[in-house]
Structure 1
Amino acid sequence: MTGTGAPDEERLARVFLARVIEPGDEVGGQWVRQRGAVQVARRLRDGGEPLPWVTARRWAGLRARAAQAAPERDLSDAREAGARFVCPGDAEWPGPLDDLGDARPLGLWVRGRPSLRMWALRSVAVVGARACTEYGAHMAATLAAGLAERGWVVVSGGAYGVDGAAHRGALGAGGATVAVLACGVDRPYPRGHTALINRIAEQGLVVGELPPGDHPTQSRFVLRNRVIAALTRGTVVVEAAHRSGSLATARAAQRLGRHTMGVPGPATSGLSAGVHELLRGEGVLVTDAAEVVELVGDMGELAPERRGPVLPRDLLQPGARRVLAALPGHRPAEVDEIAREARTTQDDAIARLYELRALGHVERHGDGWKLTRQAMVSVRGDRRPC
């Protein structure tokens, strides 16, 4: 296999090891770091003294898997599925994955045309419960669409529930999305998402550590989450129970120093309990894409200031607001009383009252002044007990 990046022998060795060593195996990662992928592959293929830190039984199991490995066939199967193998040393390799240390993937199988490295530079993970509520699906899709519209890549796991809603939200907005699978990229999982994952491969990227044809297991789902966390600038959790696998992604993100965010839900919802626990710790509460981008984006990418509607009294000068607030709610008041309550002079109070009358806030009643009906509602709503 020729091409820029890792030498052919190194690439073949890593394809071989991807078939033999499970994702996230830190012992295997340490072997590769200390001895190199070519030397580790040769030892596993040819036998001899076991490599360190493994029992004889485990070594025998690895050797049995090595005997069945055929890297040239895996590369051929990947080409037929429209996939390529990207490994450290390639121009397309995403540098943030190196933060995983010895748990770094040996390589990644990638379906889709865009560059994984370029897309990872400006990406956010959106993950959450498989059995999500309508609220969770709505929030995931809305967040993903908002992120996509702002030029961010949405990364998720391709699963039912929040993952699927996030992918669809990004695609619906004409944006970019990446599905990180816990199986071979040539066999979409879950089966019910075959059309969605194929669409992602056409418009975005489908990524996985496991060789073509490999099936998912519970442990592989958990280990897949570390790749989602490492690949992105931050992780948003939308609905998660206390034992949700999406919380493993959030914890991995925290260990890697990435931003961790959560979307709040009803306090009575078990599907939001895990998110709320995350928010009680290091997680940051977010409610829309602008707040996510403010956290993970570059300097100056700020969310708009949140405030209620602008009322007519908000446009008044401070002195006029004080005089308006000094008027009683249900009766007229004379100028000296109003000036005393507003802590100003009578001359200033008179000037402010005529200004407020011109604006429709007050009206004359003999020698006194009274709030208009519209102003009475406005001022009463602004008076809160201390």
Structure 2
Amino acid sequence: MDADTDAGTGCEGGGEFGGELLDRVFLTRVIEPGDEVGGRWVREFGVREVARRVRGGRALPGVSDRRWSGLRARAGRAEPERDLALARAAGVRFVSPGAGEWPGQLDDLGDARPLGLWVRGRASLRMWALRSVAVVGARACTEYGAHMAVTLACGLAERGWVVVSGGAYGVDGAAHRGALGAGGATVAVLACGVDKPYPRGHTQLIARIAEQGLVVGELPPGEHPTPSRFILRNRVIAALTRGTVVVEAAYRSGSLVTARAAQRLGRHTIGVPGPATSALSAGVHELLRGDAELVTDAAEVVELVGDMGELAPVRRGPVLPRDLLTPAARRVLAAVPGRRAAQADEIARGAQTTPDDTIARLYELRALGFVERHGDGWKLTRQSVTPVRDGRSPG
């Protein structure tokens, strides 16, 4: 069995670390993130046995000779003590499954669970993850997408939610900035070593996130991102959070990978609609045609992912004077022609009521300024002859 309870969390270097922790750090150099075969080895044989056999023991099951040779070559270059020393110098700690700071929801990934996480920042990852939402989307986002990401993240932060994203250009960066700008908490999950910010254009942003929030990754210090690592990183974003909000995404966007991972994990999958003509919203709209929930602001996100009672306000248009009328009075008012005067019996037929009831309602409506007498007839006042939403007058 995997002796998770022996795992440590510090990065103090040298002999102060137990063998379990050193072996986990060693395996982060050998096994790629999300490798379910490697995860199965760890579950079935334990970290220490897997590390021993990769270093020079009998081959583990489920891999070809060629792949086993590749793992052995990686193992020959791994230096876990050096990785921990580099991490300590960069203010980074290594958090193992079973440790006090480990977010238990990552265990939902099964054999694809990270071997551990490198964490940069002062806050507790476990505590922050309990109340977190992922906000992801297109790198080449539109102004609309950037605006929505900033607005959503700002609103979530103001409500005490942690905003999680991938630190990339576009929607990710906008989401991080929105949370930081509101004085809130944000977590960047990177597809590289957390001591080596990527993209380089976000070096200052990621440094600010590390100061005010957390920067997290599976890969040891100095590791570079690759296309596959970006894709596999997304499963951590999905598992870490209560729900994933996709702001903009084309059909082949990596953020859709995050959304689908969230669906598989039973997390909320949420989309922000965009113009029907925008290719950058096509992927979101496809999600919304499925099981994803549509939102337009942070309150609606919190209503989905939050606790019972955290409801978004009821949405309605402006209250008009006629909305305050009784149903009977509204029926009579609706039966008054818009361009001419009409007799009470004609209005009664249109309102499907009696002439006496109609006359009583008409005097009530006159007192309220909706109708006026014209000889023996009744006509709408000027304030009542206003366009309604379809462009026609009420009469």
Name the structure 2 match of 1:16. Answer: 26
Instruction: Establish whether residue 306 from structure 1 lines up as the match of residue 307 from structure 2.
Output: no
Structure 1 residue 265 displacement after superposition: 1.3
Higher mean displacement: 5-14 or 123-132: 5-14
Cα offset for 1:112? 0.7
Partner of 1:25: 35
| Distance across 1 between alignment mates of 2:391 and 2:170 | 43
SS across alignment from 1:194:
helix
Q: Which of 168, 176, 181 is the equivalent residue of 2:177?
A: 168
Q: Is the partner of 1:113 in helix, strand or coil?
A: coil
Using the TM superposition, give the Cα deviation of residue 373 of structure 1 relative to its aligned residue in structure 2, in angstroms. 0.9
Aligned residues: 381
Instruction: Provide the residue aligned with 2:7 in structure 1.
Output: 6
Counterparts of 2:381 and 2:389 in 1: how far apart (Å)? 12
Stretch deviating more after TM superposition (301-310 or 113-122): 301-310
Following the alignment from structure 2 to structure 1, what is the Cα–Cα distance between the partners of residues 356 and 287? 58
Displacement of 1:183 after TM fit? 0.3
Q: Output aligned runs, 1:306-385, within 5 Å.
A: 306-377=315-386
Matched residue, 2:304: 295
Give, in angstroms, the shift of residue 71 of structure 1.
Answer: 1.2
Q: Which runs of 4+ in 1 moved over 3 A?
A: 378-385
1:267-306 Cα distance to aligned partner (Å, 9 max, x none): 2211111111111222222111111111111112122222
User: Any idea what the Cα deviations from partners look like across 1:289-327, whole Å, max 9, x if unmatched?
Assistant: 111111111112122222211111001111111111111
Q: Which runs of 5+ in 2 are unaligned?
A: 9-17
What SS is found at the alignment partner of 1:207? strand
C-alpha deviation, 1:53, in angstroms: 0.6
Letter in 1 for 2:359: I
| Offset of residue 67 of structure 1 | 1.4
CA contact (8 A) 1:294 1:302 kept: yes
- The yes-or-no answer on 1:232 pairing with 2:241 is yes
* Deviation of the 1:382 alpha carbon: 8.8
> Which residue of the partner structure matches residue 11 of structure 2?
none
SS in 1 for 2:385: helix
Structural mapping, 1:36-51, within 5 Å? 36-45=46-55, 47-51=56-60
Q: C-alpha separation between the residues in 2 aligned to 1:339 and 1:115? A: 71
Stretches of structure 1 lacking an aligned partner (at least 5 in a row): none
Taking the TM superposition and a 5 Å limit, the aligned residue runs for 1:99-248 are: 99-248=108-257
1:69-95 residue CA offsets vs partner (Å, 9 max, x unmatched): 111111111111111101111111001
Deviation at 1:9, TM superposition (A): 2.2
Q: More deviation in 78-87 or 269-278? A: 269-278
Task: Confirm or deny: 8 A CA contact 1:139 1:238 kept in the other structure.
Answer: yes
Q: Could you say which residue in structure 2 is the equivalent of 1:249?
A: 258
Q: Using a 3 Å threshold, how does the CA distance of structure 1 residues 355 and 378 change in structure 2: closer, same or farther?
A: farther
Q: Are the counterparts in 2 of residues 127 and 238 from structure 1 also a CA contact under 8 Å?
A: yes
Do the aligned partners of residues 384 and 209 (structure 1) sit closer, same or farther apart at CA in structure 2, a change above 3 Å counting? farther
Give yes or no for contact 2:6–2:20 (8 Å, CA) kept in 1: no
CA–CA distance in 1 between the matches of 2:46 and 2:388? 74
Match for residue 291 of structure 2 among 260, 279, 282? 282
Give the TM-score normalised by structure 2.
Answer: 0.93
Q: Which moved more, 1:122-131 or 1:265-274?
A: 265-274
TM-score using structure 1 length = 0.95
**2:14 corresponds to:** none
260-269 vs 210-219, which moves further: 260-269
**1:5 touches 1:91 (CA, 8 Å); kept in 2?**
no
1:264 matches 2:265: no
Q: Is the contact made by 2:96 and 2:102 (CA closer than 8 Å) also made in structure 1?
A: yes
| 8 A Cα contact 2:33 2:229, kept in partner | yes
Change (3 A) 1:89 1:239: same
Number of the residue aligned with 2:12: none
CA RMSD of aligned residues (A): 1.7
Equivalent residue for 1:75? 84
In the TM superposition, what is the alpha-carbon distance from 1:63 to its structure 2 partner?
1.1
Q: Partner amino acid for 2:303?
A: E
Structure 2: distance between partners of 1:289 and 1:297 = 11
Assess, with a 3 A threshold, how the Cα gap between structure 1 residues 244 and 384 changes in structure 2: closer, same or farther: farther
Residues 383 and 35 (structure 1), Cα distance of their counterparts in 2 relative to 1, 3 Å cut = same
- Name the structure 1 match of 2:68: 59
